[in-house]
Amino acid sequence: MPDASFARQRGEIFEYAGATVEMVDAATLLAAARVNPVDLLRQASWPEPVKRVDLSVAGADRPGGPVHAFSAAISTADEPYSKERIRKLVLGQDPVGLLLAKRIEQGDPITTRIVDSVGSAAVAAYRKLGLDRPTQPAANRRPATLADAVVGLQATVTYDESGTVVRLFAEVPRDDVTPAHLQAFVGLTLQAVLELAGENSLTGRKFVISRDAVPPRTAPTTQTVTLDMVGGLTEVVAELREIAVSFRHPEAMERWGARRPQGILMYGPPGTGKTMLSRALANEIGADFREIRTPEILDKWLGGSERNIKQIFRDARRYRVPTLMLFDEFDSIVSYAGAGGDAASQALNAVAGIFKQEMNDLIEENPNVLVVATTNFPHRVDDSLIRSGRFDVKLSVPKPDEASRAEIFRKMIQGLIAAHEQPGFEMFADDLDLVALAHASHGMTGADIKEVLRRVQLAKAMQDARTGGHVAPISQDELLASVRDLLGSR
Ligand SMILES: Nc1ncnc2c1ncn2[C@@H]1O[C@H](COP(=O)(O)OP(=O)(O)O)[C@@H](O)[C@H]1O
Ligand SMILES: [Mg+2]
């Protein structure tokens, strides 16, 4: 029997405080971070009171040259005792906290190196501990051990006003960065978790640092749009979930020699959620998101637009991690079918031709790329472009029916409640009737429903601002009035 295990990729494994950490393809991950921020560790489960850890690495430009910026945000439960612990972790204004101080005391070579390069903060930390400043690390020695490798890692530890988030931050010049820096930073992050959660709290846990197989964040923030937030459009959402699965499991695709869809065209009236679906799909995959806006392509100079589009696709061939490229309102970028012979339409036709060719080549060459194009006017997009076979998935995104509108109202209102209600502040009254709202809002899109809510929110906020509080929650009548208002204004 042939053993296929040799073909399976294994990451580099290291131990930290009783936990096992696997780093999968760290070099690629660091390379990818040059182009787009990379989120790591999303899937992990954490000991109380730590709720989640957002760890990322991103390229940044500094006056001294490009760097890799490592950052970690450790969120804890909003409990007094975790606040207390966090304050202890970070001493006063000093960016080097107790965490680092403790490690120095224990003679941790990694921490010592990190602190060495923080400058005055390190001096303060040493003074607190009653230690002499240690000798400077040897300058131009090649990194041989982990401790050596982290020379130059400038780590700071701070906490948020709320007292529930600890942040760690470090930068390494881009040309010097190695997987050892990543490993050191992960170690430091785990050390901070350990300080918060107590000794042995990491024992037996396993963490995977990788760019692959990242499920969507469990707790969506306001900026994070997820497929769960989409109302109606059940089949479209189901199809996008399937595509996301295929992107999250490249190994399965490879095993069966299968090709996953790489071109999606979404069409439908304005405001029906096409842009939202694209962003949500990127989140569902854990893909990087790159939106190509019309001004980025169209150039008034002869040949400029062609050059721009070629450059965009040239960059795209180099994406090493799943990346969703969104050509939003595609019709404004690419030619109108059979447009006139004037210079402007000729330029557009040239762009369309190049787009077709580039899209073919790109999909052939780079399986990490997913191209999504949206349009409000499918009949305007050059037929041959759509039929070129490169948009393997075409999705109609229609206006919502009554049941879908009820669902959109429900999801939006739930989202607002989750984001804004707190003890002592009720945003919506108990008399809401989603069926009646759905019925009254005949003909509206998701964007319209959002506008209905926005107007009511603003009216309430203004009333609050003028009267200094004591404003009643949003009622069914007020929502219905806002629906009628918006319908009447068109
Ligand atoms: N089906 C839907 N479910 C939930 N929200 C929606 C839906 N359709 C539209 N919206 C809301 O309307 C906003 C605008 O929609 P958008 O995605 O820009 O529409 P389009 O790109 O089709 O013009 C979205 O950000 C979202 O808040
Ligand atoms: Mg849109």
Model confidence pTM above 0.75 = no
Both 330 and 479 in a single domain? no
Both 21 and 165 in a single domain? yes
Both 255 and 351 in a single domain? yes
Asked whether 125 and 134 are in contact (CB, 8 A), the reply is no
**Residue of 315, 445, 291 lying closest to 373 (CA atoms):** 291
The model's confidence at residue 190, banded by pLDDT at 50, 70 and 90, is confident
Both 246 and 152 in a single domain? no
Is residue 28 exposed (0-12), middle (13-18) or buried (19+ Cβ within 10 Å)?
middle
Question: What CATH number did the domain enclosing 476 receive?
Answer: 1.10.8.60
Q: Which helix (H) or strand (E) holds 191?
A: helix 179-197
Asked whether 400 and 277 are in contact (CB, 8 A), the reply is no
Query: What angle (nearest 5°) sits at the alpha carbon of residue 246, between those of residues 241 and 250?
Result: 150
The model's confidence at residue 303, banded by pLDDT at 50, 70 and 90, is confident
Which domain does 179 fall in, by range? Answer: 5-77+137-209
Q: What is the pLDDT of residue 455?
A: 96
Q: Which residues fall within 8 angstroms of residue 432, CB to CB, at 6 or more apart?
A: 413, 476, 479
Residue whose CA is at the smallest distance from ligand 1 atom 1: 231
Residue 278 CA to ligand 2 centre (angstroms): 9
User: Which among 136-150, 289-303, 307-321, 374-388 has the top mean pLDDT?
Assistant: 307-321
Residue 331 maps to a domain: yes
Residue 381 CA to ligand 1 centre (angstroms): 21
Residue 459 CA to ligand 2 centre (angstroms): 26
Domain stops at, among 209, 240, 270: 209
Both 251 and 365 in a single domain? yes
Residue 31 maps to a domain: yes
pLDDT value at 442 more than 90: yes
Both 95 and 47 in a single domain? no
Residue whose CA is at the smallest distance from ligand 1 atom 12: 447
**Ligand having the closest approach to the CA of 397:** 1
How many structural domains comprise the chain?
Answer: 4
Averaged confidence pLDDT in the chain: 77
Both 292 and 232 in a single domain? yes
213 in helix, strand or coil?
Answer: coil
Q: What is the pLDDT of residue 140?
A: 31
Residue 452 maps to a domain: yes
Least confident of 217-226, 234-243, 272-281: 217-226
Residue 418 CA to ligand 1 centre (angstroms): 19
The model's confidence at residue 444, banded by pLDDT at 50, 70 and 90, is very high
pLDDT value at 94 more than 50: no
Q: Give the separation between CA 116 and CA 475, rounded to whole angstroms.
A: 59
The model's confidence at residue 292, banded by pLDDT at 50, 70 and 90, is confident
Both 343 and 383 in a single domain? yes
Residue 197 CA to ligand 1 centre (angstroms): 41
Residue 20 maps to a domain: yes
Both 96 and 37 in a single domain? no
Residue 347 maps to a domain: yes
If one counts every other C-beta atom within 10 angstroms of the C-beta of residue 109, the result is 14
pLDDT in tens, 156-165: 666 665 667 7
**Ligand having the closest approach to the CA of 271:** 1
User: Which among 216-220, 287-291, 292-296 has the top mean pLDDT?
Assistant: 287-291
Asked whether 168 and 72 are in contact (CB, 8 A), the reply is yes
Q: Give the separation between CA 299 and CA 301, rounded to whole angstroms.
A: 5
Q: Give the separation between CA 261 and CA 391, rounded to whole angstroms.
A: 8
Both 243 and 314 in a single domain? yes
Residue whose CA is at the smallest distance from ligand 1 atom 25: 276
263 in helix, strand or coil?
Answer: strand
Both 21 and 143 in a single domain? yes
Q: Give the separation between CA 211 and CA 96, rounded to whole angstroms.
A: 29
Q: Taking residues 110-121, report their average pLDDT.
A: 45
Within 6 A (CB) of ligand 1 lie: 229-233, 270-276, 374, 400, 408, 411, 446-447, 450
Both 55 and 145 in a single domain? yes
Q: What is the pLDDT of residue 325?
A: 95
Mutate to test the pocket of ligand 1, among 225, 276, 326, 453 (most ligand atoms within 8 A of CB): 276
The model's confidence at residue 278, banded by pLDDT at 50, 70 and 90, is very high
pLDDT value at 262 more than 70: yes
Residue 215 maps to a domain: no
